Chain A
């Protein structure tokens, strides 16, 4: 695994405009960064990332099976009691999922270590499935990379195929896509997924989360007063549970993407549960609930993560007893009321001074590709740069 500096394509910003990729630069800083790429061997991809991704996904499903069947565990996962029946039913009914992203620390040698599972509202799928694919096509076409250059990235192909399967399960339903207002990145992500659904023959509509309404029968409706019967929402389940309409969830005949049972996987309580069910698994880091810190070896440093944290917010470093360590890399944010979990501190590899995180995508249960994120800090956050990769 190497980090290889390279020239940017001269016309890439014009292409970004043509394809509607609007969030390549944010707050005046680069988000899409093609001044370098990461290079992997095929073995690093297949054995180092692809195989563990598929395995860990299955392990995660085993955790869901345990949690939905236990009031105590649902409580530990901070799922509101009022939503238990809704979450349980979606699991028992086998509601299908679309996608998720596992985040790994991996330097090309040894075992990739799981940081967390973004199973409910993963983003950067457009950059992964389409934009970095285009980058490689252009590089090969202009002979700057050899014909044999490949990429671990069948994301878009698998997405379209997955939407075809989902369409067959819901042949009569419109699929509504939804995200919050005023977030260009989320809007772009949802537009991409909507394009993939359309390519699969699904009939689609878009509605902002804030514009959703209800009728007298508690059905949800869009701005055209069309009843919502199938919805993809890039908006976390734990927020929906807290929102005013959260109390109405489960009363509608709606198929959800992601399904409600994903609230168990996008939850940091997943990490100590994985460690309990699969102790010493080589791709897992030791992880603990707050009342289990007595189990932590004295010399182990920990990372403290809120159960519902997103984009690396509210993360801090502690000693083995959970006492905060003063660290410049601690991050603040709006999370933590719901409690914390602790995970063994395991640093990201550093390439040319950059801390590098690998996002490994699953379409349903198939490992489908990776995204590379770089940050100047040890905790990658929402401003981390996105770089392309090749298999060479």
Chain B
């Protein structure tokens, strides 16, 4: 057969697509598990807490902590004003002209030690914050991109695997619009048969 045998059509049906609206400062994605696979994670507040409350070793917990701190440097929620940061996360610090919340701890996955899995496993960790803003997420554990893990105090949490994937780094943009001008200069031309090159035709070929 010279054609694709089966195509997954569900992703291509556009009418049923669900969009999550993002608040200005933070995209809260609570409850949006998307039906993907879940993973079990623990929320820990220190390396010691990690070593005592999970089956990870101190060395693994230390590595996971360092990974979370490194990730937080690029992905922590950023605020221009301290008061905005404090309103949502309580304790915040100034980092390079931005205000970012202090890490409340980190979440680690692969906490269930199992001799079969142990050979292949790698520990996945992400910085976590305590949300202090008003509303239903107050005092809940949250990751950098606004994913709500849950209330503190549980020995483990089930979270969708997507929430554990790396997040893109955040920066401060100083200018926009430096791409696209060449296309708009060319678009003053119509093709020889269409009266104007607008609404639907693009720059592909």
Contact = CB atoms under 8 A, between A and B. Distances in A.
Contacts of A335: 186
Interface in A15-63: 17-20, 23, 26-27, 42, 45
Given A179-B202, A186-B202, A382-B201, A212 B3 contact: no
Contact of A195 (B5, B12, B170, B180): B12
A213 B13 contact: no
Contacts of A244: 177-179, 181
Interface in B178-193: 178-183, 185-189, 191-193
B191 A311 contact: yes
Contacts of B204: 118, 121-124, 185-186, 189, 234, 310
Contacts of B9: 19
Contacts of B7: 130, 133, 156-157
Contact of B182 (A124, A211, A243, A369): A243
A212 to B, nearest CB: 5
A133 B5 CA distance: 10
A198 B203 CA distance: 24
A145 to B, nearest CB: 13
Contact of A154 (B4, B13, B174, B185): B4
Interface string A95-126: 00000000000000000000000100111100
Contacts of B15: 17-18, 20
Interface string A363-392: 000000100000001000111000000010
Interface stretch (A202-210, A272-280, A340-348): A202-210
B201 A26 contact: yes
B11 A212 contact: no
Contacts of A331: 191-192
B193 A234 contact: no
B11 A199 contact: yes
21 contacts: A45-B2, A118-B204, A133-B3, A154-B2, A172-B166, A189-B202, A209-B179, A212-B178, A213-B178, A214-B176, A225-B170, A227-B168, A234-B204, A240-B179, A242-B181, A243-B181, A244-B179, A332-B189, A332-B192, A334-B187, A383-B193
Given A185-B200, A186-B204, A225-B172, 5 more contacts: A183-B201, A239-B186, A242-B181, A244-B179, A331-B192
- Sorted nearest first, the 6 A-B pairs with minimum C-beta distance are A123-B204, A20-B14, A186-B202, A245-B178, A183-B202, A213-B173
